[in-house]
Amino acid sequence: MLLLLPLSALLAVPAVLAVPTSNSAKLANTDSSLTILYQNNLNGTDDANHVAAILLDASPASQAAKACGNLNERLISRAAIEAHYDDFYHQLSYLVYSGRANPNQNFIISNGLVSFNQRRACLDFKPTPYGNRRLPVLCTQSANASQPTTAVATSQNEITIPAGGNKYVGYRNLKSWRFSGIPYADQPRRWHHSSVYSGSGQTLNATAFGSQCPQNGAGSEDCLFLNIQTPYIPKAGSKTKLKAVYFWIHGGGFNGGVGSSPGTDGGNLASREDLVVVTINYRLSTLGFFAVPGTNITGNCGIGDQVTALQWTINNIAAFGGDPNQITIVGSSAGGASVRTLLGSPPAIGKFQGGIAQSSLGGGVTLGLPSNYATSYASYLTIEEGYELAGQQIFHGAGCNATNLDKQIACLAAYDPVALVGLPTIADKVVQDGTFVNTEQLIVTEKNASTAHVPVIFGTAADDGSSFSTYPKGNNITSELEGIQVELGISEYYAQSIIDSGLFPYYDTGNKTLDSFNVSQRIATDTQFRCIDEATVYAGAVSGAFERAYYYQSQRTEYGYDPNNLGGPPVTPGYPYGNPNLPYFRVHGSDNGWSFENLPVFRDAADLYSLQLEGSYYSWFAKTGEPNAPLAYLEARGYQTVIEGQRASGPWDPVQGMQGPVKLLDWPSISSDFIDKPQCAFLNYSLTYYIDGGI
């Protein structure tokens, strides 16, 4: 059956041309690579006490000042380096460790040279040598805006680089080079799969985020944009010293979310961890997942967009400093479910070298329930099943009530996109379309070509399920039994079986509604998150489906999504933003800040220390496929808190058969409130892991 679309839905290739500033022609990587050096401790309130520098390739001493001037900068002074001695000590130490510089390499600075003396463990300063020897150059970095919300492109900080037949105008802030709103696909026709952006010979403005995909009363169908934050831009045409790529897929239930939120900005990761970070938009809701049996509307356009973004990244990321052969896909919630999907998607396999799935939903077929909210995120419907849930309901909701299906489709194809995703019924399920998804579930019970053989990390927040069980507001719950029934929507029989098992202790605070919910949320966490994710890791490790497999649980989190308004730690004297050392529900999505080393506020020192430790785990995994950074690397970088954290918690080990340890991703000095093991009562095997009892 042919799908006929109105003229308004035909292909429209975006071509947003930048008007270069008077300086942008010389602010480029034509003659040198460009590396921002910044000793980022992740404490934004401390940024004023640090300075950055820009490292250029070797230049004759007589030309060094001019090279800096081409960036609107000057040669950095000895006084500036000495005033921030530790910062430059570790930055130059890391250049030697990483092979970017030879031991005792001299760098040209204002009126002299500086080097990292590895033997004496100090910085050496020397006068400018005679002759015109070529040496790498250290320039000032005057772009001091340190936060993603304060960075603004100006004629002084913009840069134009070539990539894939186009030129991209980005800019820098204190910590990274930033390119935003890059179109990675030609704008596709509605319900057609996207293809890699075909524009060429253009100068594209990459200094502002592109539109979000339609959601919550706003957005545009022209929304397939990605964003890049990088510490390093190679010299034009060079593919040396490339960095691992951290490719982020946002969550939001496949019906919301963007790749450009401040909390998931990649500037800190790029700066502190020496990674290239890519964040993407993809089509959502009925525009991204609508499928009609017997037509070429086969669904999964949102998943296809993710694959298209991966392909654009492979084609172009080297120009931005990223290694196209070292891409790790990362996502939380629906983003984590996307990682799971891509691990088994034939068009995606081979396009990435690792996967991190955070709070990936699934399961739910238990306790007398045939399914629940989480089920379809890991067990994929057929197109017919998806259409039964969200087919004619969508047509009728849009007033497309013709008896002829072709006319219904033509009507819906012309319907306002923002109104379409706001209808009472939407399509937001991954389906078995036969191209991007051709199995009901990810196959991890055997080593086979249908699942990507790559290292993976799966894990959850400690109380992920609290966001997906009902807190009975206004109900006067009189017993644990009644509460569990209401909160999980299960029968008295199954509620009693939970109590009788003794696996989920009841903590009596005198508030039966709250106390029964504490039991229910632990069960919901297991049935919708932990059990399926642990089972995935375990089976994939034992079968060899995954190259290596790791599991974590986040104990320290911030607020996150919580419809019951129970997620925040309680405010106490000295903790105006909540005391994370007291019991609280670690709710769904509330650990995303640790994935990007971004927190809006620090409630205590352990917030910062845990951010540094966990960011190291994720980033080293993206670089090597395992999370344990070697001591020599951490020492070179000056990351002492990470060294202490790793020593206290011990190294992560891949899951090895039935004895494989499952490590807590937590700052080790933070103890759990209630420890019970094992709790995942719905698995038929034993693992070593821990559960926090919550409130």
Percent of the chain with pLDDT over 90: 81
Q: What is the mean pLDDT of the chain?
A: 89
Burial of residue 603 (CB within 10 Å: 0-12, 13-18, 19+) is: buried
pLDDT for 263 beyond 50: yes
Q: Please report, for the domain that includes residue 117, its CATH number.
A: 3.10.100
pLDDT tens profile 538-552: 999 999 999 999 999
pLDDT bin (cut points 50, 70, 90) of residue 686 is very low
Average pLDDT over residues 307-332: 98
What CA dihedral angle connects 600, 601, 606 and 611, to 10 degrees?
20
Angular region, 138: left φ>0, alpha ψ -120 to 50, beta rest: beta
User: Which 8-state DSSP code applies to residue 264?
Assistant: G
Task: Give me the residue label for tokens 């919301």.
Answer: 256
Number of domains composing the chain: 2
Host H or E run for residue 34: strand 34-37
At 533 the pLDDT is: 95
Q: Which two tokens stand for residue 40?
A: 């980022």
Host H or E run for residue 182: strand 177-183
* 549 inside domain: yes
At 564 the pLDDT is: 81
pLDDT tens profile 339-392: 999 999 999 999 999 999 999 999 999 999 999 999 999 999 999 999 999 999
Average pLDDT over residues 288-310: 98
* 469 inside domain: yes
Burial of residue 461 (CB within 10 Å: 0-12, 13-18, 19+) is: buried
Ordered alpha helix ranges (H), 414-507:
417-420, 480-488, 492-501
Q: Which domain holds residue 566?
A: 461-692
At 231 the pLDDT is: 98
pLDDT tens profile 82-92: 999 999 999 99
pTM of the model as a whole: 0.92
pLDDT tens profile 50-73: 999 999 999 999 999 999 999 999
pLDDT bin (cut points 50, 70, 90) of residue 26 is low
Count the neighbouring beta carbons within 10 Å of the beta carbon of residue 46: 12
* 271 inside domain: no
Q: Which two tokens stand for residue 283?
A: 């089509």
Q: Which residue has the higher pLDDT, 25 or 39?
A: 39
φ/ψ of residue 89, rounded to 5: -55, -50
Average pLDDT over residues 404-433: 98
pLDDT for 668 beyond 60: no
User: Domain ends where: 109, 140, 171?
Assistant: 140
pLDDT tens profile 614-656: 999 999 999 999 999 999 999 999 999 999 998 888 888 876 5
Average pLDDT over residues 177-188: 97
Average pLDDT over residues 27-41: 95
* 238 inside domain: no
pLDDT for 673 beyond 90: no
Average pLDDT over residues 298-327: 98
* 511 inside domain: yes
User: Domain ends where: 101, 123, 140?
Assistant: 140
* 104 inside domain: yes
- Integer-rounded Cα radius of gyration of the chain: 26
User: Domain ends where: 140, 162, 192?
Assistant: 140
Average pLDDT over residues 414-443: 98
At 475 the pLDDT is: 72
Average pLDDT over residues 590-604: 94
At 151 the pLDDT is: 87
Host H or E run for residue 623: helix 605-624
In a 13 Å sphere around the CA of 256, the CA atoms on its Cβ side amount to 8
pLDDT bin (cut points 50, 70, 90) of residue 679 is very low
Count the neighbouring beta carbons within 10 Å of the beta carbon of residue 650: 11
CA 158 – CA 141 distance, rounded (Å): 13
pLDDT bin (cut points 50, 70, 90) of residue 16 is very low
CA 38 – CA 173 distance, rounded (Å): 11
At 565 the pLDDT is: 82
* 134 inside domain: yes
* 365 inside domain: no
pLDDT for 694 beyond 70: no
> Could you give the C-alpha distances from 429 to 301, 337, 389, 475, 530, in angstroms and in order?
11, 11, 10, 33, 21
Question: Taken in order 597, 358, 504, 565, is the CA torsion positive or negative?
Answer: positive
